Amino acid sequence: MNHENKRKEMESAPTIGEIKNISIRERDGRRAAAWVPTRKKNSTFTVLHPDAVPAVLAVPAVSALAGGQLLVDHWSKVFSEQPCCPIAQATLLEHCVRGPFVATWVLDKPDFLHILHRAHDSSPGPDGLPYSAWANSPPHIHDEMFNMYSDLMEGCDLPPGFNKCYLACIPKGDAPGDHIGIARTPESARPIAMNNSVAKVLAMAINRSLTPITQHTILDRRRGFVRGRSITDNILETESLAIRFVKFYAAKSGTVLFDFAAAFPSLAHCWIFIVLLTMQFPTFLIDVIKKYKRSA
């Protein structure tokens, strides 16, 4: 297939309104791709079958539902619990900073509502309610939210499915031809969890007591997702070291960057709880986090 034929085929790709009318098409007996609508008007995001070859990158093969199944087949394996190496775990635990830590583990009502009112609207979860809907609700709703938080911190269980969410898999980065049609294999999509806002407010309240401790227990080189630090400093430091190395050591030097796997979906939850216990966090707080995980 020459470049002109590829271009014509991509230009004939269906729009969102045409997706329901796609018939099954295959190439060499294999399903090649599935078209999934995006938020952009008259645009689609193609989920490529892992076995698809470059010649069929733009060939719609099955329905949008099958495209979602490709994503589920891939990411369900990533999110599933993976075994950890006990020897490596034991070695790492030796470096844990141990408590006890001085912190306000349970917030009072003004601090809790402060979190709610400072939250910026983002994509809502299954209930469709953004932060602003809760923030602008009557006072008795705020009382119920705070009571839910207080009950959770006192040992009560969360309702079943409280932390369920939608999972949006958005395309990673830019690629040639994106202006014509966006196509990615499942592993080249970025999973974004869209939880209900009330569940995220409770999570932020729990995290409020943990945030100050991270600044004193996490290595200085770990700059991402730690308040008061900027991950941009990693870029500046890497660039300055690269310039120094070229100037004083080897002109033909270079920088190698590794990206092994999606970070957050690959977290070992059991390992998180082992670390929290080793660091001597309050057991009731660890139990709260476990309940939060089980309610998903």
Checking if the pLDDT of 57 tops 80, the result is no
Instruction: Name, in order, each residue with C-beta under 8 angstroms of 49's C-beta and a sequence gap of 6 or more.
Output: 30, 31, 32, 33, 34, 61, 70, 185
- Candidate from 1-5, 21-25, 45-49, 292-296 with smallest mean pLDDT: 21-25
CA neighbours within 13 Å on the CB side: how many for 129?
14
Checking if the pLDDT of 1 tops 90, the result is no
Contact (Cβ atoms closer than 8 angstroms) between residue 132 and residue 121: yes
Could you tell me which residue, 78 or 15, shows the higher pLDDT? 78
- Candidate from 97-101, 105-109, 217-221, 253-257 with smallest mean pLDDT: 253-257
* Percent residues over pLDDT 90 in the chain: 32
Could you tell me which residue, 187 or 16, shows the higher pLDDT? 187
Q: What is the pLDDT of residues 155-205, one digit of tens each?
A: 999 988 898 888 888 888 888 888 887 778 888 888 888 999 999 999 999
Q: What is the dihedral of CA 175, 181, 185, 190, to 10 degrees?
A: 70
C-alpha pair distances (Å), 47 with each of 36, 65, 92, 152, 178: 7, 11, 38, 40, 13
Name the β-bridge partners of 47.
Answer: 34, 184
Checking if the pLDDT of 77 tops 50, the result is yes
Instruction: Name, in order, each residue with C-beta under 8 angstroms of 281's C-beta and a sequence gap of 6 or more.
Output: 99, 101
C-alpha span between 175 and 15 (Å, rounded): 20
Q: What is the pLDDT of residues 83-141, one digit of tens each?
A: 888 899 999 999 999 988 988 999 999 999 999 999 999 989 999 999 999 999 999 99
Q: What is the 3-state secondary structure (H, E, C) of 112-136?
A: HHHHHHHCCCCCCCCCCCCHHHHHC
C-alpha span between 42 and 18 (Å, rounded): 10
Give me the chain's average pLDDT, please.
78
Contact (Cβ atoms closer than 8 angstroms) between residue 172 and residue 47: no
- Please tell me the total number of residues recorded for the chain in this structure: 296
- Candidate from 48-62, 72-86, 96-110, 146-160 with smallest mean pLDDT: 48-62
pLDDT for 197 equals: 95
pLDDT for 148 equals: 94
Q: What is the pTM of this model?
A: 0.72
Contact (Cβ atoms closer than 8 angstroms) between residue 46 and residue 35: yes
